A and B are shown apart, each in its own frame.
Chain A
Amino acid sequence: MELIMIAAAIMVGFGALGAAVGMGLLGGKLLEGTARQPELGPMLQGKMFLLAGLIDAIPMIGVGIGMYLIFAVAPGVAA
Chain B
Amino acid sequence: MAGDTQQTGSEYIQHHLTNLTFGHTEHGWGFAHNAEQAKEMGFMAINVDSLGWSIGLGLVFALLFRWAAKRASAGIPTGWQNFVEMMVEFVDGTVKDSFHGRNPWIAPMALTIFVWVFLMNTMDLIPVDVVPYLMGLAGVHFQKIVPSTDPNVTLGMALAVFVMIIYYSIKVKGIGGFLGELSLQPFSAKNPVVQAIFVPINLALELVGLLAKPFSLGLRLFGNMYAGEMIFILIAMMYGAGWILGTFGGVLQLGWAIFHILVITLQAFIFMVLTVVYLSMAHEDH
Question: A residues engaging B (CB < 8 A)?
Answer: 49-50, 52-54, 56-58, 60-65, 67-68, 71-72, 75-76, 78-79
Contact = CB atoms under 8 A, between A and B. Distances in A.
B8 interface: yes
Given A50-B269, A50-B273, A71 B223 contact: no
B118 interface: no
B143 to A, nearest CB: 16
Interface string B7-22: 0111101100100000
Contacts of A52: 266
Contact of A75 (B35, B219, B222, B269): B35
Nearest to A67: B230
Interface string B52-89: 00000000000000000000000000000000000000
Interface of B: 8-11, 13-14, 17, 35, 216, 219-220, 222-224, 226-227, 230, 266-267, 269-270, 273
A68 B269 contact: no
Interface centre among B9, B227, B269 (most CB of A within 10 A): B227
B17 A64 contact: no
Given A50-B273, A53-B266, A79-B8, A60 B223 contact: yes
B13 A53 contact: no
Determine chain A's interface SS by DSSP, over half rule: helix
A56 B269 CA distance: 14
A56 B225 CA distance: 12
Nearest to B215: A61
Given A50-B269, A50-B270, A79-B10, 14 more contacts: A49-B266, A56-B224, A57-B220, A57-B223, A60-B224, A61-B219, A61-B223, A64-B219, A64-B224, A67-B227, A71-B13, A71-B17, A72-B17, A79-B11
B226 A68 contact: yes
A75 B35 CA distance: 10
B9 A78 contact: yes
Contacts of B10: 71, 75-76, 78-79
Given A60-B224, A64-B227, A72-B17, A79 B219 contact: no
Nearest to B11: A79
B4 to A, nearest CB: 16
Contact of A64 (B9, B13, B226): B226
A53 B269 contact: yes
Nearest to A72: B17
Contacts of B270: 50, 53-54, 57
